Amino acid sequence: MANSAQKRLDAISKQLGAAAATSYADAPVFETKSSPKADDAFLPPVQQVAPALTVPRAKDKVVIVTGANSLLGIGRASAYEFAHAGARAIYLCDAVDDHLAAQQRDLQARCPAVDVHLRCFDAADEAAVKAVVADALRQYARLDVFFANAGIVGPQVAFGDVDAAAFMQTLRVNTLGPFLAAKHAAPAMQQTSPAKPAPGGSIVLTASVAGLRSNAGATPYSASKAAVVSLAQTLAFQLAGSGIRINAVCPGIVETAMTAPTFAAARARGTIARVGQLNPTRRAAHSDEVARVVLFLASDEASYVNGQAWAVDGGLSAGHPFVPGKLS
């Protein structure tokens, strides 16, 4: 029986070998050390699924950015990236508006072709989120990008000292806000018009390295940002086949209005060099470094990036050691 089985295996191997030889006999061979240089006639074209890099990444797109008021923030830096990348319109949104008008004037002076709109509302207010999305559709008949960036740091105390109301407020802003952004942006992005014949768009949520690894933030903040990562992963499947992509960007330590006290304290103590010491890049990030990743995720160049959490942390999450004590 063993001999019979071996014969059958030999026969199958012979048939497969003959079939392979027949199938590939006339196929061109590319870039092998022993073969002659391939004829140009056999070179297959590179299939491009996004505009060439000479086309601005945000050309003609209508963009909503929440958490845009901070002068040092990722929201403001991202709005500038979208404007310089050819956006048609940008909505600057925040619960506080003391810097929005100045940003509007600056953006319009730098990029006159971009319409800049201001909206002051709580990112976790569903009626307000729905209204800004509706306004984009009314004015431009399209919505292409929603960058849900609004967030708060929450209580910075030991978890046993966290008040339940403060915990829920952190989740309300940091997690409910992005959920509402996705809930109302998704159907708007599926609407088509002569200027946008195919449905689709990109939703980018601001999470944090604290949502990926432990010991990178207080408990309420870390929990809220881990939930944002889960939102991006789960909603990517909820939106399957819609042409809408959703991703989370996970910054490490960045000097913004939210982290300003940490940086100020470090400068006062003369320990600013210690900020960012736990990542291999050995420094904190600039908001623009995160904003450029946001622009990429929102662009057609990221057409196959979906449901991902992109760490922009100088390598912190690659190892993330436990080091007791303050980062500054």
DSSP assignment string, 238-271 = HTTTTTEEEEEEEE-SB-STTTHHHHHHHHHHT-
Q: Where in 133-290 does DSSP place strands (E)?
A: 145-148, 201-206, 244-251
Residue 121, token pair as written in the block: 């509302």
| Three-state SS at 118 | strand
> CA–CA separation, 126 vs 122, rounded Å?
9
**Cα separations in angstroms, 221 against 78, 162, 251, 255:** 22, 11, 13, 17
**Could you confirm whether 221 is annotated as catalytic?**
yes
As a dihedral over the C-alpha atoms of residue 67, residue 68, residue 69, residue 72, rounded to 10 degrees, the angle is: 100
> CA–CA separation, 83 vs 291, rounded Å?
12
**Which residues are registered as beta bridge partners of 90?**
63, 116
**Which residues are registered as beta bridge partners of 244?**
201
Nearest CA-CA partner of 95 in 69, 134, 126, 62: 69
Catalytic residue, chosen from 91, 140, 221, 304, is: 221
Angle subtended by helix axes 74-84 and 287-298, to nearest 10: 50
Q: Where in the chain does DSSP place strands (E)?
A: 62-66, 89-94, 115-120, 145-148, 201-206, 244-251, 309-312
CB neighbour list of residue 286: distance below 8 Å, 6 or more residues apart: 77, 254, 255
Which amino acid appears at position 260 of this protein?
A: A
Helices assigned H by DSSP within 98-213: 100-110, 126-140, 164-171, 177-189
Q: Which residues are catalytic?
A: 221
